[in-house]
Structure 1
Amino acid sequence: MAKIAFILLCHKDPEAIIDQAQRLTATGDCMAIHFDARARPEHFEQIRKALEGNPNVTFARKRLKCGWGEWSLVQATLHAVEAAVEAFPRATHFYMLSGDCMAIKSSEYVHEYLDSNDVDFIESFDYFESDWIKTGWKQERLIYRHWFNERTQRRRFYAMFEIQKRLGLTRKIPADIQVQIGSQWWCLRRQTIEAVLAFTRQRPDVMRFFRTSWIPDETFFQTVVRHLVPETQIRSRTLTFLMFTDYGMPLTFYNDHYDLLLNQDYLFARKISPEATELKERLGRLYATKGVEFRISAEGPSLFRFMTERGRTGRRFGTRFWETESTLGRDRELLILVCKKWHVAKRLLNSIRRETEVPAIAYLFNEEGTELPDLGGIQATIGKRTRHRRALMRMLFDYYDTNRLAICLDPGALDLMLDFFGDRSTTRMLEIQCDFSDEYLIGHAMRIGLAGERTKRETLERLLPTIRQDIVHEGDRIRDAGFENHHRIRERDPVESFVEPLMAFLSAPRETAERIARTEHLFDD
């Protein structure tokens, strides 16, 4: 009978990881876990302590800091696979999962299915001939070298690409491999996994190639498995049910999707909402149940398209999730920098991004030109961003694949602050109080249209007390709102006093906060 070694890559929600490991190993299977080294150390320690007495759970010997689109995701998977191969010699199948996945069939059904299908399940379509990549780069992912993360080091990423393109520094694909592409959620037999690991040791040229390709988790295993295994022993499909919205984001499943999920011709599903507690409980009970018959109709994708084309909102299977989903996510943290001098907040934000690697976006609700990823048009204008603020933030959390995100807001955006602090997510604010010279306030009056180049000096001087009072009033409104997790630093205070507020705001160690507090020229105009 099949014995599955689940390969779990995760970076958040330790309680859910523990539950998932205990549930999947309770029926005799095993699991190897790679927990992202970027995540909180106390979360990994919580997982390790909870599972250290479980003989069917092991951990990758080396934890990596993983980033979307990077080789680190593939290397982390290989570390977990190596740990599983060594720890579980009786495992017959290796199944790739994320922390957002859950079984949508019983354990009995899953094992019978694998026993009846002696093949490898992995999407692997010809990279150049197929239309798996709908838009964006194709050959550029492979023929140029990519050393930086596109989401966290965007400028470096595209600068290196332009330099290589301008100088014609392309490279050849290893001659004997045919690059394939597909979903990273696979299920492979033991002999295939062992062949893949042997290949990684025997072909350093191929390993060097994929290490600097872009989004290699969609190509590495897909290519190597097709290179090593006869086509007759491969099913080019995934056993994990996932769909994408028309905004290119993974569709999230909620409590009322239970019947839909059970009817699909898949063994697991991704992504299950962290808030879908009833769905998780029902699927958890189902996994241990015996004798369940499943009526496979596989209507999920066609039903989803049908509902999407008719624009249903707020009802079952509706996809306009900014209308139906009212929270950023209970396990997420939104860090808000509030400052009237935007250049000051941007300098501090850059330091935070550099020292903590938390994705950070400047005044996205205040500046039209703020650099944002393409999210299907919802990011196009300030009006759209503001109307669909929570949807936009959820999409940014998903885009950066993170549970922590930092943004800047103007002190006048109290309505946005009230909305975000009213969410079930954790929201923290760092207010930066600056000193304002008369010359700065005159420049501010011109920037916001209260004055022009020809406005008389005496008129400007009459405006100054009102402008200064408006800024004070904005600060008073923020304090009167009584926000929790509201921290403050002031320009007139010594730099040493910034450390404690920064530690609390970022949940960061003192050394990190001290480096951020020493940001050069922070308050220079």
Structure 2
Amino acid sequence: MAKIAFILLCHKDPDAIIKQAQSLTAVGDYMSIHYDARSDLDDFKKIKAALSNNPNVTFARKRIKCGWGEWSLVEATIQAVQSALDAFPRATHFYMLSGDCMAIKSAEYAHEFLDRRDCDYIESYDYFQSDWIKTGWKEERLIYRHWFNERTQKRRFYAMFQVQKSLGMTRKVPQDLEVMIGSQWWCLRRRTVEWILDFAKRRKDVMQFFRSTWIPDETFFQTLVRHLVPEQEIENRTLTFLMFSDYGLPIVFYNDHYDLLLSQDFLFARKISPEAMELRRRLGVLYSSEGQRFKISNEGRSLHKFLTEKGRMGRRFGSRFWEKESSLGRERELLIVVSKKWHVAKRLVERFRQSTDIPCIDYLFNEESCVLPDLGGIQSTMGKRHRHRRALMRMLFDYYETDRLIVCMDPEDLDLISDFANDRSRTRILEVDCLFSDEYLIGHAMRVGLAGERTPPETLQRLLPTVRNDMMHESDQIKDANFDNLLRIRESDPRQVNAAAVATFLSVPQDVAQEIVDLDHLYAD
């Protein structure tokens, strides 16, 4: 059975480290701690004193002063790994952690997970061919020598870089190595870490190379594991759940993330907020629990993306250059049907086609497959339709030789709706207010990737209020925009009331509008 030796790199919060060590070793696992030499000595003494009677805890023999992006982080890791190898001969796996990490599964589950397959878990992508590095330096990290810390000695760091660059002082990667890159949070087998430490003793040239690379904790172990271990024995992933914002900052988890974290296909999570005391308490108890069953749905990243994107609303403060003096025309009238349920809006618009001679177009700004005439290519891609929205609409008016046009839009497209509402042409908006059953919301969540076939019912129930509130928020935004000619029909209203709104929207007699809304399955899902 798997026995884990946790390699803990930390530099603060001694009380949390003590609790973390006690929790993870309570079920027979081990821990080797490296406490940053830059940190308070009294804090380190406090940790050692509190854990001195715990036979499953050891400490790196040498404390290293660590700096972000430096070799010192790898050196500290090696020190802690060597101590763990010496102190815990029964350890089968070595798992990298930080003080901000906590278990999101029980030890029982973690051991069974590691026993299923004899492999190493580490992200390792080709350094030059992959897009793991999104922005900033890539080749420069390796071919130049970096002796100073970029954060604490910025002027020296960039001065040395410029000197080397101007003099052409580049170097080559050791010939037999293919440099890889990935997350520093890995889980390796005992045999693998023994091979790495043996390789480090034999290959001084490789060690010298990595000592002066920039951010080597993302490349050193990742490269050596691929160099030493057969590919079929490597699982290219981390077992630690972590996410980053659009700005490259790690996402922090709080008390209300407990259920979400447990449903992810990972053993640990990073970063847990220091203020999330209840979350830390519950996760601390979890690791030593028995008989726990975990339903893995893995929707964490898609849910976070969904929520954060809703928090940013793009606004335009001026017309684009191709839209200057590009009004649809004072004499024209654009009729916009707004509905979150696209099938309901399409059903309603089909009734408009049958009862009027007004040209109607479905969700042209949302569906690539929306049927449009050939307008010289401006209609060919969704990007072009959005960029040249007014030009596209003018061409549609011209194509159909009409002064009245009906289009469908999603309530999410508030910027599009506002843009057309502010045009010199006349714009009328008809919002179709539908009821949303739980079944529909679940289907919507699956269509947009917030949930999947394996998402457990309890997770779906937690998700439903978020999705429902989001749809209500979109409708509220339309109301708050105070459009001049906004009309609304509601699924819950009598047909006669809705017919009056349709009559005004289309400028047709009441009996024609009544015939349009007299459709039993208009709102059916």
Counterpart of 2:257 in structure 1 is 257
Q: Pairwise mapping of residues 297-446 of structure 1 onto structure 2 (< 5 A)?
A: 297-311=297-311
Q: Deviations over 1:330-383 (max 9, x none)?
A: xxxxxxxxxxxxxxxxxxxxxxxxxxxxxxxxxxxxxxxxxxxxxxxxxxxxxx
Partner Cα distance (2:24, 2:223) in 1: 29
Q: Is the 8 A contact 2:103 2:268 kept in 1?
A: yes
Does structure 1 conserve the Cα–Cα contact (< 8 Å) formed by 2:8 and 2:34?
Answer: yes
Note the residue ranges of structure 1 that are not aligned, 5 or more in a row: 314-525
2:221 corresponds to 1:221: yes
Q: Which residue of 2 aligns with 1:335?
A: none
Aligned to 1:185: 185
User: What corresponds to 1:118 in structure 2?
Assistant: 118
Match of 1:234 in 2: 234
| Aligned-partner Cα distance in 1 for 2:260–2:129 | 33
Structure 2 segments unaligned to the other structure (5+ residues): 314-525
Distance in 2 (alpha carbons) for counterparts of 1:87 and 1:292? 30
Moved over 3 A (4+): none
The one-letter code matched in structure 2 to 1:109 is Y
In the aligned structure 1, how far is the partner of 2:253 from the partner of 2:312? Answer: 16
Partner of 1:29: 29
Alignment of 1:198-209 (within 5 A): 198-209=198-209
Letter matched to residue 70 of structure 2: E
Provide the residue aligned with 1:69 in structure 2: 69
Q: Deviations over 1:413-468 (max 9, x none)?
A: xxxxxxxxxxxxxxxxxxxxxxxxxxxxxxxxxxxxxxxxxxxxxxxxxxxxxxxx
Q: Distance in 1 between matches of 2:284 and 2:294?
A: 16
Amino acid at match of 1:13: D
Structure 1 residue 287, shift from structure 2 partner: 1.2
Q: Secondary structure at the match of 1:292?
A: coil
Residues 93-124 of structure 1 show CA distances to partners (whole Å, capped at 9, x for unaligned) of 00000000000001100000001121100000
What SS does structure 2 have at the residue aligned with 1:163? helix
Aligned partner of 1:478 in structure 2 is none
> What residue identity is the alignment partner of 1:69?
G
Q: Residues of 2 paired with 1:155 and 1:20: CA distance?
A: 38
Name the CA distance, whole Å, in 2 between partners of 1:22 and 1:288.
10
Give 1:355's aligned residue.
none
Instruction: Give the aligned length.
Output: 313
Q: Which residue in the other structure is 2:157 paired with? A: 157
In the alignment, the residues of structure 1 paired with residue 85 and residue 286 of structure 2 have an alpha-carbon distance, to the nearest angstrom, of 28
SS in 1 for 2:6: strand
Q: Could you tell me whether the CA contact under 8 Å between 2:23 and 2:285 is conserved in 1?
A: no
- Output the CA distance in 2 between the equivalents of 1:285 and 1:172: 49
- In the other structure, the counterpart of 2:6 is 6
Q: CA deviation at 1:223?
A: 0.1
Q: CA deviation at 1:199?
A: 0.4
Alignment of 1:80-159 (within 5 A): 80-159=80-159
Whole-Å separation in 2 of the counterparts to 1:43 and 1:272:
21
Question: In structure 1, the residue corresponding to 2:123 is in which secondary structure?
Answer: coil
Amino acid at match of 2:249: M
Q: Deviations over 1:112-164 (max 9, x none)?
A: 00011211000000000000000000000000000000000000000000000
Q: Deviation at 1:289?
A: 1.1
Q: Distance between the aligned counterparts of 1:67 and 1:282, measured in 2?
A: 32
By how many angstroms is 1:288 displaced? 1.3
Partner amino acid, structure 1, of 2:78: L
Q: Distance in 1 between matches of 2:246 and 2:121?
A: 26
In structure 2, the partner of 1:458 is: none
Secondary structure of 1:237's aligned partner: coil
Letter in 1 for 2:294: F
Cα drift, residue 285 of structure 1? 1.4
Larger Rg: 2
| Distance in 2, Cα, partners of 1:282 & 1:20 | 12
1:173 aligns to 2:173 (yes or no):
yes
Which amino acid counterpart does residue 307 of structure 1 have in structure 2? L
Look up the SS of the partner of 2:7 in the other structure.
strand
Within 5 A, what are the aligned runs for 1:469-488? Answer: none
In the TM superposition, 1:289-300 aligns within 5 A as 289-300=289-300
In 2, the alpha carbon distance for the partners of 1:308 and 1:253 equals 14
Distance 1:126 1:108 in 2: 34
Report the TM-score when normalising by structure 1: 0.59
Across the aligned residues of Structure 1 and Structure 2, the Cα RMSD in angstroms comes to 0.9
Distance in 1, matches of 2:107 and 2:4, equals 10
Query: How far, CA to CA, are the matches of 1:229 and 1:159 in structure 2?
Result: 39
Find the residue that maps to 2:112 and give its secondary structure. helix
Counterpart for residue 480 of structure 1: none
SS at match of 2:148: coil
